Copies of this chain bind each other. A is one copy, B any other.
Amino acid sequence: MSQRPRRRRGAGRKAKHAARLQAVDEIAGWVDRRIPYFEVLNEEGLELIENNAETVLEEIGIEFREFPRALDLWREAGADVDGERVRFPRGLCRSIIQRSAPAEFTQHARNPERNVIIGGDRTVFVPAYGSPFVRDLDQGRRYATLEDFENFVKLTYMSPGLHHSGGTVCEPVDVPVNKRHFDMIYSHVKYSDKPFMGSVTAPERAQDTVDMAKLVFGETFIQENTVVTSLINANSPMTFDGTMLGAATVYAENNQATVISPFLLAGAMSPVTVAGTVTQILAEALAGMAYVQLVRPGAPVVFGTFAAAVSMQSGAPTFGTPEPSLIVYATAALARRLGVPFRSGGGLCASKLSDAQAAYEAANTLQTSALAGVNFMLHTAGWLEGGLVMGYEKFILDADQASILGVMLRGVDLSENGQAMDALREVGPGAHFLGASHTRANFERAFYRSIVADNNSFEQWEQDGALDAAQRAHTIWKQMLDNYEAPPLDPAIDEALTDHIARRKSEFADRDY
């Protein structure tokens, strides 16, 4: 499962510099981390949280609602089932997970060069997910459409810092709710060759996702391999609902990956403290991931979490603040101790615009997520307004940050060339390094080049129109879409998909839920 796919060596950083707006070919499939993890709790603190989470599981328990099969499985596994409330002997969930859940897994893409390994020392950057609105500088804020969805799939495909096509990159609200998953999956396959996420809004839509994946990858291939990773949110506090359990069950039965994600606004859906919130997250994630392993031992599962803090004044969610950062650092360490991949973070913000608030909040969350050791970084690019809006300009700005994090995670080159002692000897006191032979030999690969930052002089910047970052990002995404070329797709697969979609769509009436 964790076998490493073929991959062009050394392609990562070079790609970023040479390739820029168009080139997709040279993209590395993920970032290999070569710096430590940052942790805010010591061994004793982590054990305290783990112990408290076991107390939550034992004494309070977790509700598995509207899904009797889950209760049966838990009863068989030795849990105490009381109505829909399940209480767990201490250590039960952990031992179930550790017996069979893979520490890392390959999610296959239709182009094998874009396969990702999720887990271990790797970071996979994924665009934002789930917003009903989009925003750009031309048209402002409006409901998202399928065209917007396709645009974000294309932009993600062209962004070297993003490794995964994501899932509901925005809600195509011009398509009926109960049929839009067909169009979303099709867009991911048609307009990108990066891996993608599946539908979770109903068990039958999860099954549709699996069925379409069979057409793309072949029926036998997906029995053995994971080709879809999907997002299963807990209904915090301490509840999983029938919709999410149904979708998770379909994916697990088909050996497809799920991200079990306590989704909480601390203070409202969890205690108003960091330690209390982390305890709840761990308890919920343990119960959810163990359930997946009961359905099919060995099915890939990711410990996910999404945590914001609510404003105690207005009740609104806040982002980029210190408490959610501490939550991510602590939770990532707990996931490592458990031995499963971890998902959190991204370019989260509450701002309505791609302004300084958006950027401070996003950068704080992105830095935290990267240093904490997030393996699957959903919401990396595009997120505005607490997730209500997918921003075109924000997407470009965040994708640039993903590339920055990619370079940082690779750490310091301590080779002889990296040490640069010859350069120091050649130049000496008071001179400059610009013309030194070491500089000339290395300048192509040296130093991250942003696609959107303006580092020119004030005078040059004024001559260029005195644009702010959002305005420059606006030009960039339009240019990218102009330059977009679809990756090749076998016409037989394309036809099979479109036929399948037409047939399935005709089988039931449109519905707006």
Interface residues of A, Cβ cutoff 8 Å to B:
35-36, 38-41, 45, 48, 52, 55-56, 59-63, 85, 141, 235, 237-239, 266-280, 309-318, 320-323, 325-326, 330, 350-364, 367-368, 371, 385-386, 388, 397, 400-401, 404-405, 407-408, 411-414, 417-421, 423-425, 427-434, 436, 438-439, 442-444, 446-450, 452-458, 461, 466, 468-470, 473
Contacts and interface: CB of A to CB of B under 8 A. Distances in A.
Contacts of A267: 433-434, 439, 443, 446-447
Given A271-B433, A274-B413, A279-B421, 16 more contacts: A36-B38, A36-B39, A56-B424, A267-B443, A271-B436, A277-B420, A279-B419, A309-B447, A314-B455, A318-B455, A322-B408, A350-B453, A352-B466, A358-B359, A360-B363, A364-B367
A74 B309 CA distance: 56
Contacts of A276: 418-421, 423-424, 438
A35 B449 CA distance: 32
Q: Which 8 A-B pairs have the closest CB atoms?
A: A276-B420, A359-B359, A363-B363, A271-B420, A322-B408, A238-B429, A357-B469, A356-B359
Copies held by the complex: 2
A424 B275 contact: no
Nearest to A371: B38
B268 A361 contact: no
Contacts of A55: 421
A449 B52 CA distance: 28
B279 A429 contact: no
Contacts of A317: 455
Contacts of A312: 443-444, 446-447, 449
A161 to B, nearest CB: 12
17 contacts: A237-B427, A272-B443, A273-B417, A275-B419, A276-B421, A278-B412, A312-B444, A316-B455, A317-B455, A318-B448, A320-B453, A322-B404, A352-B458, A357-B452, A357-B469, A360-B469, A364-B404
Contacts of A354: 356
Contacts of A423: 271-272, 276
Nearest to A48: B414
A137 to B, nearest CB: 12
A127 to B, nearest CB: 17
Contacts of A447: 266-267, 272, 309-312, 318, 321, 323
A465 to B, nearest CB: 12
A63 B430 contact: yes
Contacts of A446: 267, 272-273, 309, 312, 323
A425 B314 contact: no
A429 B466 contact: no
B40 A237 contact: no
Given A425-B59, A438-B271, A411 B40 contact: yes
A419 B270 CA distance: 12
Contacts of A438: 271-272, 276
A96 B235 CA distance: 61
Contact of A274 (B361, B404, B412): B412
Contacts of A271: 420, 423-424, 433, 436, 438-439
B323 A442 contact: no
A362 B320 CA distance: 13
Contacts of A278: 412
Given A424-B271, A454-B350, A322 B448 contact: yes
B356 A418 contact: no
Contacts of A442: 272-273
